[in-house]
């Protein structure tokens, strides 16, 4: 009889930041489909309805799901997500934390403003640090933390001074926390690094940037196409499983071999 027990997420509870749309929505949906209870986080009032609709879809898989508005760039709002997760947890713990929410506005070095720097670092770096700090007392042995990083962390792409720096910071955090939360806590911390994915972040990037990326996309070893959110979510879901226990502090290729 086939045995998929090592891939089960049943009974676990997950927080997915930035789950109203794009990659985060697909991760939240898949974790729910694989048996996890899910906190669907969003920030904009305009995303409330779709976050609630997604939570309803996830509940139809027979798990619990709740949409929670919280701005992860504000330290004071992070505990809302932990409280919501504990509210739907069957174990009194929060087994899975997915750092997906991020800003990604392109700006060449000469265009970078202090405000762009601050908003991106607050959302992409400060948010994950303080949310993980708030989650730490509730993450059990076997807990999983996964960052949605980006190929931009290591692939030099013009226009990504600040964004790339925040994603490189995510990968550094994964390496540090793999040690800090490893032997003492039994938690693994990893990243996935998508290349271009067809989401709002991509569609809202400027045309020049998308044109510049076309030759790169066409050279993707796995297929000459842009990724879809459902190319990324299964890799994140895998890192959340018991079977992924020996992977920590790493970056799992999520870009079709474009960059590793």
Ligand X SMILES: NC(=O)c1ccc[n+]([C@@H]2O[C@H](COP(=O)([O-])OP(=O)(O)OC[C@H]3O[C@@H](n4cnc5c(N)ncnc54)[C@H](OP(=O)(O)O)[C@@H]3O)[C@@H](O)[C@H]2O)c1
Q: Which stretches of the chain bind ligand X, using CB under 6 A?
A: 17-24, 41-44, 47, 71-73, 100-104, 123, 148, 150, 194, 196-197, 199-202
Residues sharing a CB contact under 8 Å with residue 136, sequence separation 6 or more, in sequence order: 181, 185
Catalytic residue among 12, 64, 93, 167: 167
**Which helix (H) or strand (E) covers residue 78, if one does?**
helix 78-88
CB of 52 to ligand X, least distance (A): 12
Shorter beta-carbon distance to ligand X: residue 10 or 49:
49
Beta partners for 107? Answer: 160
Question: DSSP letters along 49-100, please?
Answer: HHHHHHHHHHHTTTS-EEEEE--TTSGGGHHHHHHHHHHH-SSSS--EEEE-
Per the annotation, the verdict on 150 as an active-site residue is yes
For CA atoms 92, 97, 103, 107, the dihedral sign is positive
CB of 156 to ligand X, least distance (A): 15
Shorter beta-carbon distance to ligand X: residue 73 or 188:
73
Report CA-CA distances (Å) from 203 to 173, 196, 208, 228, 256.
Answer: 28, 10, 12, 12, 20
Catalytic residue among 149, 184, 247, 248: 149
Give CA–CA dist 198/12, Å, rounded.
29
CB of 9 to ligand X, least distance (A): 20
Shorter beta-carbon distance to ligand X: residue 143 or 256:
256
Shorter beta-carbon distance to ligand X: residue 88 or 198:
198
Per the annotation, the verdict on 163 as an active-site residue is yes
CB of 15 to ligand X, least distance (A): 11
Shorter beta-carbon distance to ligand X: residue 102 or 235:
102
Catalytic residue among 150, 205, 248, 259: 150
Residues sharing a CB contact under 8 Å with residue 56, sequence separation 6 or more, in sequence order: 65
Catalytic residue among 64, 73, 126, 163: 163
Per the annotation, the verdict on 149 as an active-site residue is yes
Report CA-CA distances (Å) from 221 to 183, 199, 236.
Answer: 37, 21, 20
CB of 140 to ligand X, least distance (A): 24
Catalytic residues: 149-150, 163, 167
């Amino acid at each position: 009889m086939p045995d998929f027990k090592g891939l089960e997420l049943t009974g676990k509870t997950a927080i997915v930041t930035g789950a109203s749309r794009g990659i985060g929505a697909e991760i939240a949906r898949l974790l729910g489909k694989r048996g996890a209870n899910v906190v669907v986080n969003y920030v904009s009032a305009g995303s409330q309805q779709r976050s609630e609709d997604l939570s309803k879809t996830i509940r139809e898989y027979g798990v619990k799901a709740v949409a929670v508005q919280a701005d992860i760039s504000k330290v004071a709002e992070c505990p809302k997500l932990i409280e919501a997760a504990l509210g739907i947890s069957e174990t009194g713990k929060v087994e899975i934390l997915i750092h997906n929410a991020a800003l990604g506005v392109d700006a060449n070095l000469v265009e970078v403003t202090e405000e762009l720097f601050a908003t991106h670092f607050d959302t992409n770096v400060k948010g994950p640090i303080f949310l993980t700090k708030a989650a730490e007392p509730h993450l059990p042995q076997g807990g999983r933390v996964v960052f949605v990083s980006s190929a931009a962390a290591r692939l030099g792409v013009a226009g990504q001074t600040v964004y790339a720096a925040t994603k490189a910071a995510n990968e550094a955090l994964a390496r540090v926390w793999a040690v800090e939360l490893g032997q003492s806590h039994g938690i693994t911390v990893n990243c996935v690094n998508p290349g271009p994915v067809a989401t709002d972040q991509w569609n809202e990037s400027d045309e020049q940037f998308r044109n510049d990326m076309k030759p790169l996309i066409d050279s993707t070893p796995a297929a000459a196409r842009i990724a879809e959110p459902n190319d990324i979510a299964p890799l994140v879901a895998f890192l959340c499983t018991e079977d992924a226990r020996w992977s920590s502090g790493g970056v799992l290729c999520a870009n079709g071999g474009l960059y590793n």
